[in-house]
Amino acid sequence: MQTRAIPSNGLPFRKMHGAGNDFVILDSRGMTPVCTPEIARKIGDRHRGVGFDQLAEIRDGEDADIVIDFWNSDGSRAGACGNATRCIAWMVMSETGRDAISIRTTRGMLAGRMIGDEVWVNMGPPQLTWQEVPLAGDVDLLHLPLDGDPVAVGMGNPHAVFFVEDAEAVDVAGRGAPVERDPLFPEATNVEFAQVRGRNEIRMRVWERGTGITLACGSGACATAVAAHQRGLTDAKVRMEVDGGWLTLDWREDGVWMTGPVAHVFDAVLTADWLGA
């Protein structure tokens, strides 16, 4: 993709988080995008840069109100990012006073809606075939051939959901990192550990592909709700406690809808000098 040069007066950005899943947002509406893998890694460094779980760059859409590109802190692209989508949907709807917007991501066309004072986003229907997730071969997605009997779900990005007795007791990094890179997932995977507390409540902890442990993962929360419902453990609508707060997921005919808290932390400018422009 063609990118524009870093402006000599610096690069403005916004910091937001959704349930503790934190983002740097670059607003390139009306402009050529600026982000490259190098820029994502540089800004993503929590010591020498700003730090984020994902970087989201917004640009104009031809067939949607906005287009969002997602990056992980290791410079790889994230195919979906539910919490950043919620934050940006909130931001754009607050700016415009509208109560519905269309958003294009590599996942496809998503919808954001303000219902009362909650922002809901439709993360789209889950991907339930091995080719879509993707997996390395034709295996049973509801019982992957891995220790711990996880479920595979695609939400525009791959997820492996493990059901556990006690989510607090799980060594998320120790178990998540090897699964992220298991050859069963040709594009690697995000890994969720879910404890079902009841028909409408799940406790979930996550290891994200390309990022590591995060306090919440929206697409992972969607994948977990889908996996639990498919296994017959929960209803289609659940509340989910993640390390950074609570999300609500509702798997409907047109996709998995998600809501939860959003926070606008600050707006600032990265200097051109530091960016090496």
Question: Can residue 157 be called a binding residue for ligand API (CB under 6 A)?
Answer: yes
Cα-trace Rg, the chain = 18
Site string for ligand API, 29-68 (x = CB under 6 A): ------------------------xx--------------
Residues binding ligand API: what is the number (CB under 6 A)? 20
Residue with Cβ nearer ligand API (22 or 27) = 22
Q: Which stretch binds ligand API (CB under 6 A): 138-146, 214-222, 247-255, 259-267?
A: 214-222
How far apart are alpha carbons 80 and 159 in whole angstroms? 11
Considering only the stretches 74-82, 93-101, 125-133, 165-173, report the one whose residues sit in contact with ligand API under the rule CB under 6 A. Answer: 74-82
Annotated binding-site positions for substrate: 21, 54, 72, 82-83, 157, 190, 208-209, 218-219
Q: What residues pair up with 107 in beta bridges, in sequence order?
A: none
Nearest-CA neighbor of 70 among 110, 109, 32, 24? 24
Distance (Å, whole) CA 84 – CA 101: 15
In whole angstroms, the minimum distance from the beta carbon of 83 to ligand API comes to 4
In the complex, least distance from residue 46 CB atom to ligand API, rounded to whole angstroms: 16
Q: How far is the CB of 93 from ligand API (least distance, A)?
A: 18
Can you tell me the distance from the alpha carbon of 158 to that of 50, in angstroms, rounded to the nearest whole number?
27
Q: Is 81 a catalytic site residue? A: yes
Among 133-141, 178-186, 202-210, 265-273, the segment contacting ligand API (CB under 6 A): 202-210
From the candidates 35, 81, 87, 222, give the one annotated as an active-site residue.
Answer: 81
Report the residue from 28, 72, 122, 224 that binds ligand API according to the rule CB under 6 A: 72
Query: Of 1-9, 38-46, 210-218, 226-234, which part binds ligand API (CB under 6 A)?
Result: 210-218
- 163-192 binders of ligand API (CB under 6 A): 190
Q: Is residue 30 packed enough to be buried (19+ CB in 10 Å), middle (13-18) or exposed (0-12)? A: exposed
Cis peptide before 134 (omega within 30 of 0): yes
Known active-site residue 217: yes
- Amino acid residing at 139: V
Residue among 6 and 124 whose Cβ is closer to ligand API = 124
What is the bridge-based pairing of β-strands 54-60 and 77-78?
Answer: unpaired
Convert residues 89-128 into a mask of x (bound to ligand API by CB under 6 A) and - (unbound).
----------------------------------------
Active site residues: 81, 217
In the complex, which residues of this chain contact ligand API (CB under 6 A)?
Answer: 21, 53-54, 72, 78-83, 157, 190, 208-211, 214, 217-219
